[in-house]
Structure 1
């Protein structure tokens, strides 16, 4: 399923958080969003998730504007993992992940053994099965993040949106989550701070002050000049002699 933004604007108190942003993410593509803090990545993800209606422009699933769709129908197609999503409810990890099944439940389609199986698989995918009975408020930041991702997987979406999903994770779980995301047969849009992680995306878009200023394959976009102009850093771009992957080493431009 194709995900599109067409000339999207979003303004809060006279401040433009998104300014004429257009992009199309192809079915099955992993698309990375990068940019400094406050550049508009999270706002764009929320528009693409159907959670914010653009002031101008529109977001579409295939050729259907999300503004014409029921939120339930959007939630059956798109799952969004936000940076910060908390709850004061005393719920367990398993109950939190089970919330991902909500868009599919109704009086005619109550909870079933199939829903149990989907939740169990999601817990396994993020290595949280052993903590299924733990209460939410007892979890570490990394454990909560993995639970959020499991909840999104339990939705069985066709499109997965993730806002800096490796925040709070140790390096082992960062690598395992990114590997899992890459292997999923889904369309993925992922906001990342780690530019070396962004190298594994099919394409990336660079955000600056609410505008999408560059887009393309990582090796074409993440140039020394782009890194200096957007992030204010100098970079040495190296090719790993073993697997030929590209690695960046940074130093301040001032």
Structure 2
């Protein structure tokens, strides 16, 4: 599925958090969002997910304006993994992941063995099957993050939005989650804090003060000049001779 934003604005108390943002993400593409804290990445993801309605402009899913879609249809197409999503309910891990199947249930379509299998597969994909019976409040921050991602996978979306999904994860689980995301046959928009991780996206967009200031392939966008202007750091851009990957090494701008 394609996902697009056309001239999207979002304002809170007179402060513009998104300013005339337009982008188009192709079906099956992995699109990275980068930018300093407070640049608008999370707000844009929430607008793309249908959780916030833009003050002006519009979001389109496969060319259809989101305002013309039922909420259930949006939930069946788009899954959003937020940075932090807490609950006070005494809920087990498997029950939390099973919430991803909610958009597909109705009085005419009750829980089935297929739903059970989908939830089990999602738990396996994030390495949480062995903790399926644990209570949510007993989990570590990293374990909770993996449950959030499993819930999104159980939803079987065509479009997956992730807001810094590797927060709270150790390096091994960061790599496994990012590899899993890259292998999924879905359209992905992912906000990333680690710019070296952004190198693996098909394209990236740079957010700064609510504006999308640059967009393109990582090699074209992540230049020393762009990194200094947007992030205020000097960067050395190195080429790994083993796999032709680029590696960024940062120094504080004086």
Q: State if a TM-score over 0.5 links the two structures.
A: yes
* Structure 1: distance between partners of 2:71 and 2:50: 8
Structure 1 segment 60-139 matched on structure 2, within 5 A = 60-139=60-139
- CA deviation string 1:226-254 (max 9, x = no partner): 00000000000000111110000001002
- The offset of 1:138, in angstroms, is 0.2
Structure 1 segment 78-227 matched on structure 2, within 5 A = 78-227=78-227
TM-score (ref. length: structure 1):
1.00
- The offset of 1:68, in angstroms, is 1.3
Q: Does 1:9 align with 2:9?
A: yes
- CA deviation string 1:152-199 (max 9, x = no partner): 000000000000000000000000000000000000000000000000
- The offset of 1:220, in angstroms, is 0.2
* Structure 1: distance between partners of 2:133 and 2:158: 28
Q: Does 1:253 align with 2:246?
A: no
- Partner SS, residue 76 of structure 1: helix
- The offset of 1:204, in angstroms, is 0.1
- The offset of 1:49, in angstroms, is 0.4
Q: Does 1:242 align with 2:242?
A: yes
* Structure 1: distance between partners of 2:155 and 2:5: 23
Structure 1 segment 50-61 matched on structure 2, within 5 A = 50-61=50-61
Q: Does 1:38 align with 2:38?
A: yes
- The offset of 1:131, in angstroms, is 0.2
Structure 1 segment 17-28 matched on structure 2, within 5 A = 17-28=17-28
- The offset of 1:63, in angstroms, is 1.3
| Structure 1 vs Structure 2 CA RMSD | 0.4
Structure 2 unaligned blocks of 5 or more: none
* Structure 2: distance between partners of 1:86 and 1:253: 37
- CA deviation string 1:11-34 (max 9, x = no partner): 000000000000000000000000
Residue correspondences, number: 254
- Partner SS, residue 152 of structure 1: helix
TM-score (ref. length: structure 2):
1.00
- Partner SS, residue 22 of structure 1: strand
Greater than 2 Å deviation, 4+ residue runs: none
- Partner SS, residue 100 of structure 1: helix
- Partner SS, residue 145 of structure 2: helix
